[in-house]
Structure 1
Amino acid sequence: MRTADAPGRPDRRRVLAWAWWDWGDSAINAVMTTFVFTVYLTSAAFGDPARASSVLGWALGASGLAVAVLAPVTGQRADLAGRRRFWLGLHTGIVVVATAACFLVRPAPEFLLLGAALIAVANVFNEFAGVNYNAMLPQISTPATIGRISGLGWSMGYLGGILALAVVLFGFVSPNLLGIPTADALNIRAVALFSAGWFAVFALPVLIRVPEIRPDVAGTRTGFLASYRLLARRVRALYRRSPHTVYFLAASAVFRDGLAAIFTFGGVIASGTFGFSLQQVIVFAIAGNVVAALGAAVGGVLDDRLGPRRVILLSLTGLLASGTAMLFVTSQAGFWVCGLILCLFVGPAQASARSFLGRLAPAGQEGELYGLYATTGRAVSFLAPTLFAAAVTIFGAQRWGILGILVVLLAGLLVLLPVRPPEHAPQPDPIDAGPV
């Protein structure tokens, strides 16, 4: 079966409730792991910044390994038990608690390990929550609307990140409008409480409005190790029934790594190559997120009309063209133009990748497949950073790191070219759902 009661027309209240989770999660991604708290954690207050960065890197690397190994099984077990919403709520709650606990990380070297561990735990369970959240997409949409609803979620995430960053920057950092004391980094530590509260509040609607799914097989229970045997059987069966679904997982893993690198290294290139100040980088980041949100929304509409594969191919082509142009511009104005065009195409590619998989997911196995989606992404997450660094090393200039990212995007496009989505999602074999 698909999910709990898939109506002919999506319930708008459920759709909006689902999208608010993305809005809330943006505080964890933008504030805690990208722009604010990890920057604080790798500052001189925790000792040698190089050592602090190394400790954080190892912690995040360990969290990535945990996600790669466990994500498919966590999604599978939620599908089997019919407790997708329950596990979304539990994992979200753990993220909220771990994030709030970051308030305890005082600016002293002895607190470095605590801070890195808390960020790693939040990262792991945020990924687990995302598996069940993404698996809800086919549950709250129809084949005719899945693209625009996925685009709405990505747009809400971008816009929520912008607002959360603005509140943090102006309210807690500079000019610190809330007047929180800066002694003992209290204002920065308070950002953790804000982020935890932000996520908790905006995660509630999906847990209230979106109903629980029915169990994949009533009464089926599997042991933890048996879940991996079931997973292997299902992947083999999926390949037999729909090999292009497996091909898409591989293609999307590659191009999604390139998409992530655009945001990871965008600020670095703006500052190091084009001479942007920190304030200018923040202004560009806000503008870029606005453009990406608009792109995701428009791309979602095109997704439902043209199909997700075409939207992804068009987006990757646009990214390659604008990224190539950026290799040769020298002015800040040129960076603004090329950079915003890049952001315009990132949103649709991300949103359509999620909806593409939602269209391919076998009935009752959405969580498991989105778990594989997370795992394959983690498996190749070294590609873009490695090629970025290699290109900088070979050509001797930071600008050429862009070329490394373009190579990853091109590889993803080429792997995607032969992929053909089925007209209908493949149905699970009866044996797949049986006891292990």
Structure 2
Amino acid sequence: MGTDTVRGTASGASAPAGRRREQHGWYVYDWACSVYSTSVLTVFLGPYLTSVAKAAADADGFVHPLGIPVRAGSFFAYTVSLSVVLALFVMPLAGAAADRTGRKKPLLAASAYLGAAATAGMFFLSGDRYLLGGALLVIANASLAVSMVLYNSYLPQIAPPEERDAVSSRGWALGYASGALVLLANLWLYTSHDTFGVTESTAVRICLASAGVWWGAFTVVPLRRLRDRRTAPGPAGTAPGLRHFVATVRDMRRYPLTLSFLLAYLVYNDGVQTVISQASVYGSEELGLGQSTLIVAVLLVQVLAVAGALAMGRLARAYGAKHTILGSLVAWTVTIGAGYFLPRQSPVWFFALAVGIGLVLGGTQALSRSLFSHLVPAGKEAEYFSAYEMSDRGMSWLGPLVFGLAYQLTGSYRDAIVSLVLFFLVGFALLARVPVRRAVRDAGNDVPTRI
């Protein structure tokens, strides 16, 4: 495993054969970790952890972690927010250490396998052990966030500017294909649990744990194919810790247009990630839909997201990534607004909502990642992607907090879901104001023909 010295935005990617090998290995980490986002965060853990919390609740429907009264129905959303608080401290430090030392792979391995182990440990979540479930969720989410900082920061190093939209879209598409495949197996186990001689609860716990096993097993491939790059030594006396992160934040102020894009992304992706993490709770608790219906709906989202990511990648080649993302935000606003009016116990309308989400989900995420990669100064990829990752993969904190508070105050998941429309409207307005071509030039990178 050799190393390269960072000299440009696609360092180590000049030889086509070596570049393709790294890209193929890079895709596989999406394949490995996306099952956590799908089977765990989106489908099984929300309703299951909510049911475990309700089993531990008092007569008024409250649990009391650390003596704090929390509605059992809000515990999952609050736990997702808590995981982000932890991630906010850890991600920038990991990014700073990776850029300073050039040793991304050991950090990627450590974070990936810690998250995979925590996910596999969810097999032991049963009875009224809601605190165990909350702790494992916090560890797994924070670990995923750190691993994604390091994973995403490889993109500008393994793909030249003209390839990034396509490479990013292929990674997302492969991740959604993986999620669909594992979720199909989960659906078979869940609906046929009697045939396998296990209870419904045990089937859910097996599905949760299998995501951790899958995550850990396939992480071997990117760890074998991706290469570390040597970096220039940091200033004397600079520690890869809090002081380094403070210096990074100050450095980001030199690129105000990059920060403007990041702010827009943090807002609209907050809405995206909250929809992903809370949709199954909305379907089960507000619409009265069964677990099998929810699994089929999410499976539909996964399949359509593969096609959506690839199709929006092609649209970006014709219209540019920025305009394609703006169009997707309009679609998100219409779709989530319509979700407020869904009738109870009507799977057909919930499937229609799933179709709308699936068609824009993968493309929004893939193009946002590739667009941001153009706005990052060379040699600072992991540090800048640590800020990017704060609102990615279900790691956003404000959206789940707003969702949880809306339910806490109104007792209605409909009010909670419609509150998320604001994130897409504000994100659209902020992104529309960013002159991305000038932002790319200001970051010292080559401007693609279409962006």
Into which bin does the TM-score normalised by the smaller protein fall? 0.7 to 0.9
- Tell me the secondary structure at the aligned position of residue 107 of structure 1: coil
1:107-186 pair list within 5 angstroms: 107-109=126-128, 111-171=129-189, 173-176=190-193, 179=196, 181-182=198-199, 186=202
Tell me the TM-score normalized by structure 1: 0.84
Question: Are 1:71 and 2:84 counterparts?
Answer: no
1:218-297 matches, within 5 Å, as 222-224=238-240, 227-240=241-254, 242-270=255-283, 276-297=289-310
The structural deviation recorded for 1:179 is 2.7
Q: Find the partner of 2:373 among 355, 358, 361.
A: 358
Which residue is 2:210 aligned to? 194
Q: CA separation of 1:164/1:299 partners in 2, compared to 1, >3 Å: closer, same or farther?
A: same
Flag the 1:246–1:413 CA change in 2: closer, same or farther, 3 A.
Answer: same
Structure 2 stretches of 5 or more lacking a match? 1-6, 64-71, 446-451
Q: Secondary structure at the match of 2:230?
A: coil
- 1:265 deviates by 4.0
Task: Indicate the residue corresponding to 1:315 in structure 2.
Answer: 328
| Count of aligned residue pairs for this structure pair | 420
Query: In the TM superposition, what is the alpha-carbon distance from 1:85 to its structure 2 partner?
Result: 1.6
Q: Give the match's secondary structure for 1:360.
A: coil
Distance 1:42 1:268 in 2: 8
1:427, distance to aligned residue in structure 2 (A): 4.5
TM superposition shift of 1:54: 6.3
The letter for the 1-side match of 2:294 is V
Report the alpha carbon displacement of residue 235 of structure 1 after superposing the two structures with TM: 2.9
Q: Secondary structure at the match of 1:99?
A: helix
The partner residue of 1:97 within 117, 139, 154 is: 117
C-alpha change, 1:337 and 1:40, in structure 2 (3 Å) is closer
**Counterpart amino acid of 2:104?**
R
- Are 1:60 and 1:120, in contact at CA under 8 Å, matched by a contact in 2? yes
1:6 aligns with 2:13: yes
Matched, 1:203 2:219: yes
Listed one character per residue, the Cα deviations across residues 346-392 of structure 1 (whole Å, up to 9, x for unaligned) are: 22111111111111111011100111112366996324652686499
1:122 maps to a residue whose letter is A
Distance, in Å, in 2 between the alignment partners of 1:281 and 1:17 is: 32
2:67 is aligned to none
Query: Partners in 2 of 1:308 and 1:57 — Cα distance?
Result: 31
Identify the range of structure 1 (65-74 vs 331-340) with the bigger mean alpha-carbon deviation: 331-340
Which AA in structure 2 matches 1:368? Answer: E
CA distance in 1, matches of 2:73, 2:339: 29
Kindly provide the CA deviation profile for residues 17-42 of structure 1, in whole angstroms up to 9, marking residues without a partner as x.
21111111122222333322454444
Q: Which residue of 2 aligns with 1:29?
A: 37
* Partners of 1:269 and 1:106 in 2: CA distance: 22
TM-score (norm 2): 0.81
Q: Is the 8 A contact 1:267 1:281 kept in 2?
A: yes
1:392·1:401 contact (CA, 8 Å) conserved in 2?
no
1:415 corresponds to? 430
Please tell me whether the aligned partners of residues 187 and 292 of structure 2 are also in contact (alpha carbons under 8 angstroms): no
Give the Cα–Cα distance (whole angstroms) in 1 for the partners of residues 79 and 290 of structure 2.
29
% identical aligned pairs: 27
Unaligned 5+ residue runs, structure 1? 429-436
Deviations 1:265-290 (A, max 9, x none): 43455456666443322222211221
What is the deviation of 1:82?
A: 0.5
Range moving further from structure 2, 381-390 or 158-167? 381-390
For residues 314-341 of structure 1, give each alpha carbon's deviation from its aligned partner in whole angstroms, at most 9, with x where no partner exists. Answer: 1112222344455567676555445412
- Three-state SS of the structure 2 residue aligned to 1:145 is helix
